[in-house]
Amino acid sequence: MGGEWKVSIKRWQAVAGWTWGAGEDDVCGICRMKFDAAPPEIKFPGDDCPVVWGECNHPFHLPCINKWLTSQGDQPQCPLCR
């Protein structure tokens, strides 16, 4: 009864998850949606709405900050620290 058991793996399935590494801020400062979710005007999260960081290190969804910056005129500023 003290023998060794042999185990052979016949099949395996890997599972992975991801999140944006946005540090302490886990929501966009403009739309207030989580970074692994999509902003209101985008249907699905992913390649269409990556997270980008400004010079001040505040993270935003790319579509959100693009819309904000184009609405600011000649001197666009960060919506959080201005």
pLDDT in tens, 17-71: 766 666 555 888 899 988 878 888 887 777 778 888 888 888 899 999 999 988 9
- The pLDDT score that the predictor gives to residue 23 is 58
**Domains, in order of start, for the chain:** 28-82 (3.30.40.10)
Judge contact between 6 and 39, C-beta under 8 A. Answer: no
pTM: 0.66
Q: What is the DSSP string of 50-63?
A: -EEE-TT--EEEHH
- The pLDDT score that the predictor gives to residue 65 is 92
- The pLDDT score that the predictor gives to residue 49 is 82
